[in-house]
Structure 1
């Protein structure tokens, strides 16, 4: 199993190949974050860390993600919460994948309200009554079902509303 130290070495090897000119990147250990999916490392140039001279700093340095599963390190966006990048990686294997206007209906819990779920699905998608009912019935029988929604925001709202009705669902990620 990979340790934080070995993941840090992988991050440094990856960063060393990125063409920062004469700048030598170093990890900011106090900022490292560990997730079930892997580690997120933040970094800066060695000379900036030592001197504090802004002219020596790396600017626009996106966090480096080292997956726990042995996949290659990569940069992740700093324009969204890191947790979202981890969710994207967990769902599709790409930490930089964008959310899609699609919900995967995964299952249900005791007390699931199927009629209300059909209504909610119809409100946030372009599915008619028969198709929404088929999606819920499929889920109830144990088959995950994809539901295209109007927008990514609509997909997020649909997941939350389905959760309140004791259904398990998630926004999908990918190209």
Structure 2
């Protein structure tokens, strides 16, 4: 089992593999873990619309395993969380 601090460390490490520098912008907790949203550092620092990411899906870090699961972008995060908790999402990525 991991705590929030470990989940945040894993989230930041996961995002280090991005093609462009990105930063966690928001997160939330639910019974099975945490979800994280992110955006490009350039957009966050400058507000330049052309630097904004598109299709940057939030991801979940499981509280028990620490595994990372990508969510989608066509539904609200809450819907993906319900699906995740019901076991309907694919395999984790670490």
TM-score band by shorter chain is 0.7 to 0.9
TM-score (norm 2): 0.77
Match of 1:81 in 2: 76
* SS of aligned partner of 1:32: strand
Larger relative CO (CA 8 A, sep 6+): 1 or 2? 2
After superposition, give the CA deviation of every residue in 1:62-88 in whole Å (9 maximum; x if it has no partner): 012111112421210122233332233
Structure number, greater radius of gyration: 1
Contact 1:25 1:44 in 2 (8 A): yes
TM-score (norm 1): 0.45
Contact 1:12 1:26 in 2 (8 A): yes
Moved over 3 A (4+): 94-97
Q: Tell me the distance in 2 between the aligned counterparts of 1:74 and 1:40.
A: 9
Q: Unaligned regions of 5+ residues in structure 1, if any?
A: 98-175
Contact 2:55 2:73 in 1 (8 A): no
Closer, same or farther in 2 for the Cα pair 1:7/1:73, shift >3 Å? same
Q: Tell me the distance in 2 between the aligned counterparts of 1:45 and 1:81.
A: 20
